[in-house]
Amino acid sequence: MALLRVTQKQDWGPIIILETLLTSIKEVPMSLMSALSNETCRLRANQSDSGGGWRNESTPLPDDEPDESESSLNLPYALLEATVALMAIFGNTLVIVAFKTERRLRRRTNFYIVSLASADLLVGTLGIPFAILASIGLPRNLHACLFTISLLVVLCTISIFCLVAVSIDRYWAILHPLAYSRNMRTKTTLYIISMCWLVGSIIGFLPLFGWHEEPAEEACLFVKVMNYDYLVFLYLVTIIIPAVLLLAFYIHIYRVIVRQRKQILSVNSIDSRQFSSTLASVDDGGPQSSKRRTKKDNYNGTMLRVLRAAQNREVKATQNLSIIVLFFMICWMPLHTINCIVAFCPQCHIHAPVMLFVITLSHLNSALNPLLYAYHLKDFRAALKKLILSIFGIKPTAPQPTECVNCISTLAQQQQQQHQQLFHVP
């Protein structure tokens, strides 16, 4: 019997242990299970409500610092940007209208200026309003955010490509003037400008086709949605490589201009000596021979003056365009540089006033470009003055041709007359 009792104790032991475990499980607080269930439902609701593909990886704790995207609108910055936008819209609209109404402005080089003005006009109408929205982290939708940011990149890239194209145009016109006059046509210029817009749009809209990041925060911040590799690619394509090309082009153009001026001065000196020898040989060759030589020397001198005037016109245009290029690089390079620094060094803190300043500086380029055209390009200055006076109801005075045009026209007439006298001696 004793053995039987022991056996029964040993047989019922596991059952008693199992009953104890079941009792412990039943004693788990139901409030904890309810809290876990509620948290799961909340996370699922947040994930379903987040539109456009944002990732909601974590929820900030109440003690966390407020996110940058939730900051309020900086009113002074918004007012300054609005002023810049109005200036850009007004000035670039005048440039485009002046080009359309004044036939004498429709030279090949000015087509690039109008292309730049068109891009600057879009910056004023679309780019700056989108930048103001991005300063407060809007829009929340990922694809809308990518479109607004990519549009700014597109306009900047198109402007840089147009500046490179006009630099190549100046390079070719000065180094190979005969080939330039023979091969360069308005259709060719329009084709080059169209390619600048097409390639610039493709490069700028690449983030829309997948080359972007998906940040955890629902905020439209440039350095958060742009891929690091894309930023490097963009910095090289839109800043570094164009800057190197532009610098190389204008240095070479400057050296060629200096060399050509020396050659013209040398030829002019030789022509003066020939003219002196002609005067000295008046008695030897008689009046008939002296008249022929004098006419020939005058013809050569006129040709030199025509060449010098034409070259000065090309040099002046190149100098003015180089100032426009330099101003563009000064305005845009700080913003691209800071964006790359922030993207590759997340712990590096850029103060908000500094960031807003470089953004406004890049947009200021679009507003001040028309003033550069009016100040440095005489034809645009006269056309813009006439257009502004007509807007305010003031009748402009009769347009006076520029000094260079008078000079070339007069020299061309003298050249034709002297050419006839030289080969049809009475």
Q: In the chain, which stretches have pLDDT less than 50?
A: 1-11, 14, 17-18, 21-22, 25, 28-29, 31-33, 35-37, 39-41, 43-70, 275, 278-279, 282, 401-412, 415, 418-426
- Which tokens go with 406? 């008078």
Half-sphere exposure at residue 14, Cβ-oriented, CA atoms within 13 angstroms: 2
Distance CA(203)–CA(197), nearest Å, equals 10
Residue 43 lies in a domain: no
Single-letter amino acid, residue 218: E
Alpha-carbon torsion (355, 357, 360, 366), positive or negative: negative
Which of 108, 75, 260, 239 minimizes the C-alpha distance to 186?
A: 108
pLDDT at 195: 96
Amino acid in the structure at residue 14: P
Is residue 260 in a domain? yes
Does residue 30 sit within a domain? no
E strand or H helix at 47, and its extent? helix 30-49
The answer to whether residue 66 is domain-embedded is no
- Among 384, 400, 364, smallest CA distance to 113 is for 384
239 φ, ψ (degrees, to nearest 5):
-125, -60
The pLDDT of residue 269 is: 58
**What pLDDT score was predicted for residue 266?**
67
Domain range spanning residue 168? 72-272+299-396
CA 382, 383, 384, 385 dihedral sign is: positive
Q: Is 53 left (phi over 0), alpha (psi -120 to 50) or beta?
A: left
**pTM score, two decimals?**
0.67
**pLDDT of amino acid 406:** 43
pLDDT tens-digit map of 305-360? 666 666 666 667 677 778 888 888 898 889 888 888 877 787 888 888 898 899 89
Cα–Cα separations (whole angstroms), residue 342 to 131, 223, 226, 355? 18, 7, 11, 11
Q: What is the DSSP string of 268-336?
A: HHHHHHHHHHHHHTHHHHHHHHHHHHHHHHHHHHHHHHHHHHHHHHHHHHHHHHHHHHHHHHHHHHHHH
Output the 3-class SS for 147-199. HHHHHHHHHHHHHHHHHHHHHHHHHHHHHCHHHHHHHCCHHHHHHHHHHHHHH
Residue 24 lies in a domain: no
- In DSSP terms, which residues pair with 212 in a beta bridge? 226
Q: How many domains does the chain contain in total?
A: 1
211 touches 168 (CB < 8 A): no
Q: Distance between CA 92 and CA 384 in Å, rounded?
A: 11
Decide if 56 is inside a domain.
no
Structural domain includes residue 8 = no
Burial class (CB within 10 angstroms; exposed 0-12, middle 13-18, buried 19+) of 243: middle
CATH number of domain containing 337: 1.20.1070.10
The number of C-alpha atoms within 13 Å of 255 and in the hemisphere containing its C-beta is 5
Taking alpha carbons only, the member of 267, 276, 274 closest to residue 308 is 267
Residue 159 lies in a domain: yes
Give the residue from 205, 198, 114, 209 showing the smallest Cα distance to 158.
198
